[in-house]
Structure 1
């Protein structure tokens, strides 16, 4: 058995089997023991109920992407598991634990050459009062991964404390039974020991990190309509905002939500809404209103498969076009994209800061993979990005809300300020905010809104730039982790590659990207879309100095580090 820096596990079951709960327990124990980890899920299109699989990758280093292949697969049952065949790769070195009463293993198992061991998890659970097959599976996984029964019992007792001693004892007995049943079964790989550390890992999802970043950035009001896969942002914000004197309001629809946060921000309170592609479509006109009236707001779009209802439970990067180009007229605004679960916190906090400082809407493009993934990470650093808008206080002369100030940012009066009355709407206006059809006023205000975004110094946060070499890999969002891992593999093969992952997508930064691409002779663009939206965006806005090859694919199938590595080696 060889020690590996990472190991990957998939637990599969039908609705209610507890597959996702089981994986979450494994992540919590591994995190407490010092490992990093990434827990993602794959579900059917029905959102709730139906088949589910929890996918876990544990490692001695931070992990932000799925594996190429799984080392251990446990099928509590195989009902509709064939739907995950493209996402859960098995091979000759994969160990599969299968319940003989759970149906026939799908082709992804039977055609992979994997080693299959049958354990009657359902029958074992029936012999335990209140027993559940997923606790049997948890015991099996614990032994195969090198954990002890005692390590598993602590989170179980904590999670089930409200259900009474009988529930805890049933789970304890199930874990012990599964642990015993796995005696003599071996994995081909063993997870290497973690580096000693006194620091306790943070365990959170991308959506939770997004919500925390919003609060750290100063957001104190949120309004939203629930939508998969963004709802967890709202669920986390509801009690958390209350703790800092804020409030969350569940609106009747997305149209109400966006207008509520515009009203909150107009009144002086930084505000946010969270949605997914269908909701963003409904918000577009109001985002234009916030652009024209220069009212700062943050809109988080946790992207999913589209168009229309698409695949609500799967990930894609296909809202890029609507986020950048969707507003009618010339309506410059901010578009940002986090690059990992941990980066959801930083990017949302930074987006809030930028929206407030520049008095403009900011759209944050997360996605289902990142938003609903749960990760064991190092504690994120405290960053001093707290939104502070320019507030009008000197009313000694007639107040010009939209004054053509240096830098384009004019002081904003809070309602109730004596002498600070002004009209804020979507009509073209003068410096005083008075509606006008004057060509001169229209041009002046268009220039003002453009210039304040283009002249702002965004610093080094605009992108992550790593490595060197004559081949540059340009990607964005949740694919950044897979790109980094692929570049690491290429380096081991003697090929140096630089990774450029823009965090700020709008406004564009042509001078900064030109500097990042200095000396590059080949460019590989990687994205999760069908039409190559990101590649076209780069072509439209940047002077790319070298031949470009594009690697893009739509969801729901994730792009792995192995695939990107092969694309690098083909293009080197």
Structure 2
């Protein structure tokens, strides 16, 4: 998959206080873009109060698939300035940008004036008042569409689907507002235009990463979820709460994260593939439960939609700083699975794969998503429905006179697992070290045998080509993961156009490590750039600690909440390519 390099895309920020309707307008814009044949990425920025208050809808619209924000916004539209200055650092503008604001909203904040962007006025509130039931957000929607050359017909079609059956007067007022805004845009001057959409060769979806995560879980065979709501993972639970009953599954809103993970382990012990979803603070609480899952070899999947930490941090912003706890957080020697999606679409596949791996290897699996993937909504090509469905090695009743060995020291490290009540297959499943039959033991030989067994089943598994996404060739390698992948991919494309060839390696399987595979991918590489969203460079330290890299890597990292942008990675690649 390739992304727009910028020439075929337009980036728009729509801002306003609570109730201004910028999110409603942006969602309608995205639906219309899908109808018209475009691709898009839509994220949101809000204040620390999470719901209500000021908000910014951030939309990048293009003719090619888009998996990253751009370097700057071409249009910034402010219905009002209440609290918008909080987003100044997240809304980079240039001299080629245009700021559209209502003259009644007062003075333009200094940060936006200093950007050098062209500032124009559009009386959105007055235009809306002239329409019975009119709203400024529809004026804004029509103006933005006209400025970039977006067709009005898909907008009115989306408005009809959304409003016509509910309230005809609201539909008529919204259509009138869009048309009034489009007409008024003629007075605002020129702006960057969107190209003509390409013919649809595949069906397209509009979906968030969190909903994709829920879909991947269902496709992977999950039939039980217990979870406690937490930003930015709650949408995973919203999806599963309605989807699971449709496939004969069960959803439980637990009282807290400890109960959530333990309910899931219990359901898994009973034979059902189980999942829970949380964020960093919740993962911390689940760690003891994950140790029980690992020691008892009871599969469970935990989705961590990462946010800015530590502690409560910034709940509505993205960061990749849960890597250390995900990989190393369990006490004792506790090898387990950690996987990470690298796009909205990949949230579907990676979660499904994570369920498959957890079930096949009888291990806990942490899926490290993040806020930028989980809460962003994108127009994507419909993903293939791959055949990864979690299946356990099922135990059979032992022959007469034989003792059932739940934790038999097999060559693969995987032992047959019964369901409770299966004749002849009774065993103890707890967190104590045990013999092959499950009997608690303190013997060194038993401990070492079980340690080796639990490690062997992970390191000996064939993960195929799914361990990483590898694209391009060159003597420079960009190694990244998670939501940084989209920006890194676009930067590599830009560098190639400038004569600097680089290879993109985005890890999907974080643990266990694949030293031979990464070694092969890095053959001929003379320079390495690691791109991540972490203050301490956790991913860089992880790579240097777990892999024998051919050269010392350069590091491009910073904490959230600011996203990694293609331009800064591109600039570093050009410098490295000299």
Coarse TM-score class (shorter-chain normalised): over 0.9
TM-score normalised over the length of structure 1: 0.98
Is 1:493–2:507 an aligned residue pair?
Answer: no
How far 1:380 moved relative to its partner?
A: 0.1
TM-score normalised over the length of structure 2: 0.97
Is 1:318–2:321 an aligned residue pair?
Answer: yes
Is 1:505–2:510 an aligned residue pair?
Answer: yes
* Alpha-carbon separation, structure 1, partners of 2:351 and 2:225: 14
How far 1:59 moved relative to its partner?
A: 1.1
**Partner residue in 2 for 1:525:** 530
**How do residues 62-73 of structure 1 correspond to structure 2 at under 5 angstroms?**
62-73=65-76
Is 1:414–2:419 an aligned residue pair?
Answer: yes
- Where 1:407 maps in the other structure, the secondary structure is coil
**How do residues 101-140 of structure 1 correspond to structure 2 at under 5 angstroms?**
101-140=104-143
**Partner residue in 2 for 1:453:** 458
**Partner residue in 1 for 2:3:** none
How far 1:306 moved relative to its partner?
A: 0.4
How far 1:198 moved relative to its partner?
A: 5.0
**Partner residue in 2 for 1:347:** 350
* Alpha-carbon separation, structure 1, partners of 2:110 and 2:440: 66
Is 1:544–2:549 an aligned residue pair?
Answer: yes
- Where 1:66 maps in the other structure, the secondary structure is coil
2:364 to 358, 361, 386: 361
Bigger shift: residues 279-288 or 114-123: 114-123
**Partner residue in 2 for 1:79:** 82
**How do residues 10-21 of structure 1 correspond to structure 2 at under 5 angstroms?**
10-21=13-24
**How do residues 224-243 of structure 1 correspond to structure 2 at under 5 angstroms?**
224-243=227-246
Asked if the contact 1:262/1:295 (under 8 Å) is kept, the reply is yes
**Partner residue in 1 for 2:428:** 423
Asked if the contact 2:150/2:194 (under 8 Å) is kept, the reply is no
- Give per-residue Cα distances to partners, 1:520-544, cap 9 Å, x unaligned: 1111111000000000001110111
**How do residues 21-36 of structure 1 correspond to structure 2 at under 5 angstroms?**
21-36=24-39
**How do residues 438-477 of structure 1 correspond to structure 2 at under 5 angstroms?**
438-477=443-482
**Partner residue in 1 for 2:202:** 199
- Where 2:150 maps in the other structure, the secondary structure is coil
* Alpha-carbon separation, structure 2, partners of 1:59 and 1:177: 25
How far 1:172 moved relative to its partner?
A: 1.8
Report the number of matched residues. Answer: 570
How far 1:162 moved relative to its partner?
A: 6.0
How far 1:466 moved relative to its partner?
A: 1.2
**Partner residue in 2 for 1:167:** 170
Unaligned runs of 5+ in 2: 1-5
Is 1:89–2:92 an aligned residue pair?
Answer: yes
Cα RMSD of the aligned pairs, angstroms, is 1.2
Asked if the contact 1:352/1:386 (under 8 Å) is kept, the reply is yes
* Alpha-carbon separation, structure 1, partners of 2:357 and 2:576: 37
* Alpha-carbon separation, structure 1, partners of 2:403 and 2:190: 76
Asked if the contact 1:136/1:177 (under 8 Å) is kept, the reply is yes
